[in-house]
């Protein structure tokens, strides 16, 4: 992995130049935050390796986090500042997941109960923002419970589907989870979880009849959502005919496509893009902002890092002997990278836009903490062989 370390050093120097540029041109006041983030990442990497776990994912994730931070600082320094605090909590969540041995807990009912309880609390006491009732405020701290809830559900599904046939309890828990999200009008996570469930089910017990059944369910669900949910109908119309709604529902999609087209191959240059016209440019559409200023080279590099992260996770999972732990790890990997596929596919107009954020890059403290927790859970699987030998 020596080339990875050299690439990390080169990226650090390049990123430092961007920070200095922002400090000179825009009076960046929180320039010290990426330095603290870098030191914490190095410390966590050393700790991970010293305890016998594979730490190669941390430089890859660090690349994503730093790209997200620099673009948030370029858009608005307050977003970068809040992302910094989310990063600190996220690294704590990574360590808790790494050493907590959660994937060894044979408590599927606890995972399912925790997942559904979070969504029920959100439905009863949550706040509606952007059309979805997906936020809770506790002691002045606002967060999205679904980010944590879906991790618990994937752990439940991974534990239950491993070595066991699909039963009505699994379908009931999944159905309640999706119904709660539908009542909150938060359809993106419901689609993502259903895709992860289908993948895990086919991985553990493949059948052509099951595959076609899942495809039929997705198609049926698409038409039901289109007919019954105006929010989803609006997104489908914007996806298929954005030019018919340039000033309303198609505006965001068109501005994102314009930005990617303006970026071309090498981009307009950092800080030179006209990104203020893109709605939700710090959350849903940060990928389009990166595409405009860094071009195809920048977005392709970003996707290559996600691909390398997926390859690292799959390679790690092949060394896990316990089927349940391996299935849970696969579910978490699919949850993370399935979100990348849905977000990028929506921005490129390959799929209807789901309104989710780009993992480790887009603004969102709750999602960043949840993603680092997932990374810690996956990394903890790398210590399984040694633990089994010791026992």
Q: Indicate the pTM of the whole model.
A: 0.92
- Residue 342: pLDDT over 70: yes
pLDDT at residue number 71: 93
Residue pair 335/196 in contact (Cβ under 8 Å)? The answer is: yes
**Mean of pLDDT values over 168-174:** 91
**Mean of pLDDT values over 354-366:** 91
Say how far residue 307 (Cα) sits from the centre of its chain.
14
Grade residue 359 by pLDDT with cuts at 50, 70 and 90: very high
How far CA 104 is from CA of 50, 54, 365, in Å, comes to 21, 18, 27
**Mean of pLDDT values over 145-169:** 90
- Give the percent of the chain with pLDDT over 70: 96
Nearest to 346, CA basis, from 268, 252, 278:
252
**Mean of pLDDT values over 189-210:** 92
Q: Where are the alpha helices (DSSP H) in 76-130?
A: 77-99, 108-125
**Mean of pLDDT values over 68-89:** 92
Alpha-carbon distance of 342 to 357, in angstroms, equals 9
pLDDT at residue number 2: 57
pLDDT at residue number 131: 66
Residue pair 285/252 in contact (Cβ under 8 Å)? The answer is: yes
Q: Which helix (H) or strand (E) holds 128?
A: strand 127-129
Other CB atoms within 10 A of residue 33 CB = 21
Residues β-bridged to residue 202: none
For 225-240, how does the pLDDT look when each residue is reduced to its tens digit (9 = 90+)? Answer: 888 888 888 889 989 9
**Mean of pLDDT values over 193-201:** 94
Q: Which residue has the higher pLDDT, 367 or 136?
A: 367
Grade residue 130 by pLDDT with cuts at 50, 70 and 90: low
CA triplet 28, 18, 274: central angle to 5 degrees? 80
- Give the percent of the chain with pLDDT over 90: 57
What strands, in cross-sheet order, belong to the sheet with 132-138?
127-129, 132-138, 141-143
Q: Which helix (H) or strand (E) holds 363?
A: none
**Mean of pLDDT values over 266-282:** 86
Q: Which residues contact 190 (CB under 8 A, 6 or more apart)?
A: 177, 178, 181, 182
Say how far residue 54 (Cα) sits from the centre of its chain.
21
Alpha-carbon distance of 101 to 109, in angstroms, equals 17
- Residue 353: pLDDT over 80: yes
Alpha-carbon distance of 165 to 154, in angstroms, equals 16
pLDDT at residue number 101: 87
Alpha-carbon distance of 325 to 322, in angstroms, equals 6
**DSSP per position, 227-271:** HH-HHHHHHHHHHH-GGG-TTTTTHHHHHHHHHHHHHTTT-S-TT
- Residue 215: pLDDT over 80: yes
Q: Which residue has the higher pLDDT, 317 or 164?
A: 317
Alpha-carbon distance of 322 to 134, in angstroms, equals 35
pLDDT at residue number 10: 76
- Residue 390: pLDDT over 50: no
Report the chain's mean pLDDT, rounded to a whole number.
Answer: 88
How far CA 6 is from CA of 2, 13, 20, in Å, comes to 7, 11, 21
Grade residue 183 by pLDDT with cuts at 50, 70 and 90: confident
Alpha-carbon distance of 379 to 333, in angstroms, equals 11
Q: Which residues contact 358 (CB under 8 A, 6 or more apart)?
A: 68, 286, 287, 339, 340, 343, 344
pLDDT at residue number 11: 78
Grade residue 31 by pLDDT with cuts at 50, 70 and 90: confident
**Mean of pLDDT values over 308-334:** 94
For 78-87, how does the pLDDT look when each residue is reduced to its tens digit (9 = 90+)? Answer: 999 999 999 9
């Amino acid at each position: 992995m020596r080339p990875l370390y050299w690439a990390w050093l080169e990226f650090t120097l390049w990123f430092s130049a961007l920070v200095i540029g922002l400090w000179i041109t825009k009076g960046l006041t929180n320039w010290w935050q990426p330095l603290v983030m870098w030191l914490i990442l190095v410390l966590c990497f050393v700790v991970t390796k010293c305890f016998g776990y594979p730490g190669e994912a941390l430089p890859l994730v660090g690349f994503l986090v730093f790209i997200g931070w620099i673009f948030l600082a370029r858009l608005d320094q307050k977003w970068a500042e809040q992302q910094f605090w989310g990063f600190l909590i996220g690294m704590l969540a990574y360590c808790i997941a790494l050493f907590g041995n959660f994937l060894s807990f044979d408590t599927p009912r606890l995972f399912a109960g925790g997942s559904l309880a979070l969504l029920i609390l959100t439905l009863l006491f949550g706040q509606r923002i952007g059309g979805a009732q997906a936020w809770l405020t506790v002691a002045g701290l606002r967060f999205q419970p679904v980010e944590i809830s879906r991790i618990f559900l994937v752990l439940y599904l991974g534990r239950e589907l491993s070595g066991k046939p699909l039963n009505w309890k699994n379908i009931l828990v999944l159905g309640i989870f999706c119904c709660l999200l539908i009542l909150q009008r938060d359809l993106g996570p419901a689609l993502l979880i259903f895709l992860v469930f289908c993948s895990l089910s086919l991985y553990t017990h493949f059948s052509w009849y099951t595959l076609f059944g899942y495809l039929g369910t997705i198609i049926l669900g698409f038409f039901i959502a289109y007919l019954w949910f105006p929010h989803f109908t609006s997104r489908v119309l914007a996806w298929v005919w954005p030019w018919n709604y340039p000033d309303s529902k198609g505006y965001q999609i068109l501005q994102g496509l314009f930005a990617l087209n303006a970026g071309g191959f090498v981009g307009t240059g950092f800080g030179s893009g006209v990104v203020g016209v893109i709605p939700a440019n710090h959350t849903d559409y940060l990928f389009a902002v990166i595409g405009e200023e860094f071009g195809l080279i920048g977005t392709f590099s970003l996707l290559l890092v996600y691909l390398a992260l997926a390859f690292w996770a799959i390679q790690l999972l092949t060394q896990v002997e316990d089927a349940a732990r391996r299935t849970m790890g696969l579910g978490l990997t699919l949850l993370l990278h399935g979100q990348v596929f849905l977000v990028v596919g929506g921005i490129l107009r390959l799929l209807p836009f789901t309104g989710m954020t780009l993992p480790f890059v887009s603004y969102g403290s709750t999602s960043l903490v949840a993603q680092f927790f997932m990374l810690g859970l996956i990394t903890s699987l790398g210590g399984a062989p040694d633990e089994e030998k010791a026992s």
